[in-house]
Structure 1
Amino acid sequence: MEHLDKKSKITIMVAIMSALLFVALNQTIVGTALPKIIADLGGMEYFSWVFTIFMLTSSVTAVLVGKLSDIYGRKPFILLGIGIFMAGTFMCGTSDSIIQLIIYRGIQGFGGGMVMSTSFTAVGDLFSPRERGRWQGIMGGVFGLASVFGPTLGGYIVDNADWHWVFWIFLPVGIVAFILIMRLFPSVTKKEGESVDYFGSVFLTLTILPMLLAFSWAGKEYDWTSPQIIGLFSASVVALLIFISIERKAKSPVLPLELFKNDIFSLSNIIGFILGMGMFGAIMYTPFFIQGVMGTSATKSGFIMMPMTLAMVTASALGGQLITKTGKYKIIAIIGLLVMASGMFSLSRMDMDTSTLVAILNMITVGLGLGMSFPVFTLTIQNAVNYKFLGVATSSAQLFRQLGGTVGVSIMGTVMASSMKDEMAQMAPKGGTEAIAQNPQVAEKFKALQDPQALMDADKLEAIRQTLPEQMTGMFDQIVMVLRTSLSHALNDVFLTGMFLLTAAVILTFFLREIPLRMSNKEEEPIAEHGDEKVLKQEKFKEQYQR
């Protein structure tokens, strides 16, 4: 597809970004609407599964489709992905129970994984690595815009209309994207000599699913040392060993092990994994500080988070343009990670007296760093491998980032819970426990304060306070203050953990070998595999590109 004229490429990219925006908006719009949905459908105990099932199905599908799209082309999978996602989205809006919603969200995930994997890979089909920088940055910006408008729109819809429209409102966007891609996206013939690695696909799935579940549940549903978590990790390790054995003999492996011999591929995925930990850690736990420590309402919290997302979108687009213009990516990655690490350090210094303006400035710093570094490592991976591995290499980058996010949220959640428990033990009001225990009805009210989530809803806290005897309101206020202070200290530890992780990513990036960005996909072998004998060829392409 690289041979297409500029106008055709841009038109196809508009179609791809429409599909990506459709998926991203439907991901982000659910969060703010879910409390109303749960209130209608019930099943609060299954709340987390609405998100978990999407993560599981989309992660597995993305990595499996990567190899299949290398064999059969991107078009059938992006169309199939949009179709499945639209079907799942429509069905989500018809849910009569939380179980139905979870099942339909799983279907959404299957389609979403296909769309996300093939969308980023299609950029590689259309443009040479040198040109991809700007488009990878714009694609990252699409996710950022969805993060800005999705939650706000979701809250508006549930406040002013039936919650079912949260899922249905963007269906026309999906239909338009489907028609555009069907008409504009070129078809390719199946690659000869390639076959589907069924056994490898099965055991790759059996490796990923238990691992994601273990990290999602550890420290929340079950203890890290519980038989359930140990069993899931053990199952994942066994499946991984079998998977490696299968891939060594497979004619057309679903994830070629030879890719990991490429130092740029391996190191970029490790850095991407760490970046995922820091990125999801910031996105997931910053609202805890804004709402739980600062006492800001959920609606205002969305507006306070907005500058971080807009900073990420801006930096992603500008960083991508800079990469395309200069051909340099290593320095941009290092600067981006350093800025993000400094932003995380600034977040770790906040306390209950921090002003909204300071919090916003700190989050903007994180957003700028994230936006600069986010597109880089997909690009380095695509540039370092043979073009025939483009799909599987791109999907592996997404998988490692997703795994990093899951692991990061789990570890940081454990850090927060442990730190908060220690702080509360030191700061608990003297004699308060005994006074509360003497009145079972009051004790029941105070139970709500054992979970830091209680601080996220100021109205609910005030409602509990109003139902208490007057002599107990002072104790209630004192415990809420202890809880806020403990949460503040715990989140300081969470953000500090994120800073150390991102510092490690900076150090690793210094060891990332920077090779010239190829000027065409027609080059059969990248420099990363054969050294400097390709430099002259690269310079020739560079001259042609500049002309």
Structure 2
Amino acid sequence: MEHLEHKQKVTIMIAIMAAMLFAALNQTIVGTALPIIVADIGGMDYFSWVFTIYMLTTSITAILVGKLSDTYGRKPFILTGIGIFILGSFLSGTSVNIYQLIIYRGLQGFGGGMIMSTAFTAIGDLFAPRERGRWQGLMSSVFGLASVFGPTLGGYIVDTWAWNWVFWVFLPFGIVAFIMIWKMFPNVKSAEKTSVDFVGAVILALTIVPLLLAFSWAGQTYAWDSAVIIGLFSWSAIALVSFIFIETKAKNPIIPLHLFKNSIFSISNIGGLLMGMGMFGAIMYMPFFVQGVLGISATRTGFVMMSMMLSMVVTSTIGGQLITKTGRYKIFAIIGLIVMSIGMFLMSRMSVDSTLFGVIRNLILVGLGLGLTFPVLTLTVQNAVEHKYLGVATSASQFFRQAGGTIGVSIMGSIMSMIMRDKMTTMAADTAEQTKGMKDIGAIEDPQVLMDPDKIAQFKDTLPDQMMPVFNQIVGTMREVLSSALSGSFLFGTFILLCAFVLILFLKEIPLRLTNKTEEKPKEEKPSKMTS
């Protein structure tokens, strides 16, 4: 689609970014609204599945659609994705119980996976590698904007209107994006007539689902050494071996395994996995520090977290422009990972004495580094493979990044729980004598209760004045415990980002092509022989 006029390309990209914003906002807006939704429809024991099911269906769809869109074109899948997402969003707003909401969120995930996979791949269809940096940066900024405004908007909607509008408010954006893409987006199919590897697709799904479930549940719902988690990991390992065997025999494999022989493809995806582990860990657990340790309200915490996302939007946009202008990209990934690592390390050094200014500074550093690195790893994968593999390569990049987030959040959560458990055991022994007169003291002797200031205030009102010093001491100690636990998690995140930095040092930088037409697979060792 390189032959299209620049004006038409820009119009198509605006439509694609509108679809991306529609999907991303619907993903981020739910977090702050979910407590109100669950209070209305019930199902507190199952509320985590509202997120888990979306993650599973998105991951499966994204990785499968990549190969299919290489064969049948992007347009049918992005239109189908938008249509399914609109339907899932509308139905989610009609939910009368938690089970319906979970099912409809799963349907949203199928649509979201199609949108995410085909949207980033469409950049590769419309623009040559040298031009993609600018658009990859702008697409990354869409995620940042959604993360900035989604949670705040979700809180406003449930406070002002009915919670159903959380799912309905952006439906017009999706409809407009659908119409624009339907009219403007040409569909380019593969010239090769090939069969679909349905068996490989099923086995791949049977590999991904138990793996992601295991990391989602481990350390939270089930212990890491429980029969359920070990069984899920074992199932996933057996399915992976079967998948590799089947793909070596398939005529048109859903994921061509030879791509992993390309060092750029492999290093970029592993780097994306590691970056996802650190990135999502910071996004997930930083609010615990701001609210639990510093005692800042949930509303103000949302504004504090904006600093990270806004800085990401700035550097992803500027970095993309510089990549297009200079043709260089590896240096931006290296600088980004260094800045992210510094920010994450400073997070690990935070304590109860940390200031809000220091917290915001650390978040900005992580955001700046993330914005520089985020667009690069997709660009390197697209530039390293032949155009006929563009869809599967891009979807693999998206999957590895999202899987990294799932794994990172799980491991960092386990580290946090382990440290809290050890320190709370010591605290309980030290304060046992002092708290004998406090009824139901066990209700607040958990650092996680710091996230619920109303519960602490209610308990405090039941105490006599002479018990206040002991109560304040316990709360202060719990803040220190939570701070120490989060420091351990952030230190792990620092280590992971440093591993990503070392890995990216070995990434071979080949010239960004000036056209999508390639006569042969790009040679890593001999860049000068590439088509330009």
The 8 Å contact of residues 15 and 177 in structure 2, kept in 1 or not, is answered as yes
Instruction: Tell me if 1:519 matches 2:514.
Output: yes
Shift of residue 50, structure 1, vs aligned partner? 0.8
Shift of residue 471, structure 1, vs aligned partner? 5.2
Q: Distance in 1 between matches of 2:464 and 2:407?
A: 43
Amino acid at match of 2:394: T
3-state DSSP of counterpart to 1:351: coil
3-state DSSP of counterpart to 2:430: coil
Shift of residue 187, structure 1, vs aligned partner? 1.7
Instruction: Tell me if 1:3 matches 2:3.
Output: yes
The 8 Å contact of residues 522 and 530 in structure 2, kept in 1 or not, is answered as no
Q: Distance in 1 between matches of 2:159 and 2:444?
A: 26
Shift of residue 432, structure 1, vs aligned partner? 2.4
3-state DSSP of counterpart to 1:528: coil
Q: In the superposition, relative to structure 1, how do residues 536 and 211 fare at CA in structure 2: closer, same or farther (>3 Å)?
A: closer
Where does residue 346 of structure 1 map in the other structure? 346
457-466 or 126-135: bigger deviation: 457-466
Q: Distance in 2 between matches of 1:321 and 1:365?
A: 20
Matched ranges for 1:331-342 at <5 A: 331-342=331-342
Q: Distance in 2 between matches of 1:211 and 1:528?
A: 34
CA deviation profile, 1:204-251 (whole Å, cap 9, x unmatched): 000000000000000011110000000000000111111111100001
Where does residue 276 of structure 1 map in the other structure? 276
Shift of residue 463, structure 1, vs aligned partner? 2.1
The 8 Å contact of residues 298 and 457 in structure 1, kept in 2 or not, is answered as no
Instruction: Tell me if 1:376 matches 2:369.
Output: no
Amino acid at match of 1:178: F
Where does residue 498 of structure 1 map in the other structure? 493
Where does residue 449 of structure 2 map in the other structure? 454
3-state DSSP of counterpart to 2:110: helix
Amino acid at match of 1:341: S
Where does residue 464 of structure 1 map in the other structure? 459
Q: In the superposition, relative to structure 1, how do residues 80 and 281 fare at CA in structure 2: closer, same or farther (>3 Å)?
A: same
174-183 or 459-468: bigger deviation: 459-468
Shift of residue 467, structure 1, vs aligned partner? 3.5
Q: Distance in 1 between matches of 2:197 and 2:477?
A: 56
Matched ranges for 1:277-356 at <5 A: 277-356=277-356
CA deviation profile, 1:282-322 (whole Å, cap 9, x unmatched): 10011110001000000000011111110001011111111
3-state DSSP of counterpart to 1:337: helix
Q: Distance in 2 between matches of 1:282 and 1:144?
A: 14
Where does residue 544 of structure 1 map in the other structure? none
Matched ranges for 1:390-405 at <5 A: 390-405=390-405
Q: In the superposition, relative to structure 1, how do residues 470 and 100 fare at CA in structure 2: closer, same or farther (>3 Å)?
A: farther
User: TM-score with structure 1 length normalisation?
Assistant: 0.95
Shift of residue 446, structure 1, vs aligned partner? 2.8
Amino acid at match of 1:95: S
Q: Distance in 2 between matches of 1:192 and 1:330?
A: 34
Q: Distance in 2 between matches of 1:58 and 1:103?
A: 13
The 8 Å contact of residues 523 and 530 in structure 2, kept in 1 or not, is answered as no
Identity rate of aligned residues, in percent? 63
CA deviation profile, 1:381-422 (whole Å, cap 9, x unmatched): 000011100000000001111111111001101111111222
Q: In the superposition, relative to structure 1, how do residues 97 and 470 fare at CA in structure 2: closer, same or farther (>3 Å)?
A: farther
**Alignment RMSD (CA, Å):** 1.5
Amino acid at match of 1:491: L
Q: Identify unmatched segments of 5+ residues in structure 1.
A: 542-547
Shift of residue 482, structure 1, vs aligned partner? 1.6
Where does residue 535 of structure 1 map in the other structure? 528
Matched ranges for 1:136-535 at <5 A: 136-189=136-189, 191-428=191-428, 430-432=430-432, 435-436=435-436, 442-443=439-440, 446-450=442-446, 452-468=447-463, 470=465, 472-528=467-523, 531-532=525-526, 535=528
Aligned residues: 532
Where does residue 92 of structure 1 map in the other structure? 92
461-470 or 387-396: bigger deviation: 461-470
Matched ranges for 1:98-117 at <5 A: 98-117=98-117
Q: Distance in 2 between matches of 1:288 and 1:346?
A: 16
CA deviation profile, 1:129-185 (whole Å, cap 9, x unmatched): 110001000000000000001000000011111111111000000000000000000
Where does residue 545 of structure 1 map in the other structure? none
Amino acid at match of 2:146: A
CA deviation profile, 1:339-366 (whole Å, cap 9, x unmatched): 0000001111111111111110111001
The 8 Å contact of residues 434 and 470 in structure 2, kept in 1 or not, is answered as no
Amino acid at match of 1:353: D
Q: Distance in 2 between matches of 1:334 and 1:319?
A: 12
Where does residue 75 of structure 1 map in the other structure? 75
Q: Distance in 1 between matches of 2:462 and 2:46?
A: 28
CA deviation profile, 1:50-106 (whole Å, cap 9, x unmatched): 111100000000000000000000000000000000101001100101111111110
Amino acid at match of 1:333: A
Amino acid at match of 2:442: F
Q: In the superposition, relative to structure 1, how do residues 482 and 428 fare at CA in structure 2: closer, same or farther (>3 Å)?
A: farther
Amino acid at match of 1:483: M
The 8 Å contact of residues 316 and 371 in structure 1, kept in 2 or not, is answered as yes
Moved over 6 A (4+): none
Q: Distance in 2 between matches of 1:435 and 1:304?
A: 35
Q: Identify unmatched segments of 5+ residues in structure 2.
A: none
The 8 Å contact of residues 428 and 482 in structure 1, kept in 2 or not, is answered as no
The 8 Å contact of residues 69 and 118 in structure 1, kept in 2 or not, is answered as yes
3-state DSSP of counterpart to 1:527: coil
Amino acid at match of 1:535: S
Q: In the superposition, relative to structure 1, how do residues 17 and 427 fare at CA in structure 2: closer, same or farther (>3 Å)?
A: same
Amino acid at match of 1:514: E
Q: Distance in 2 between matches of 1:147 and 1:393?
A: 26
Q: Distance in 2 between matches of 1:146 and 1:449?
A: 36
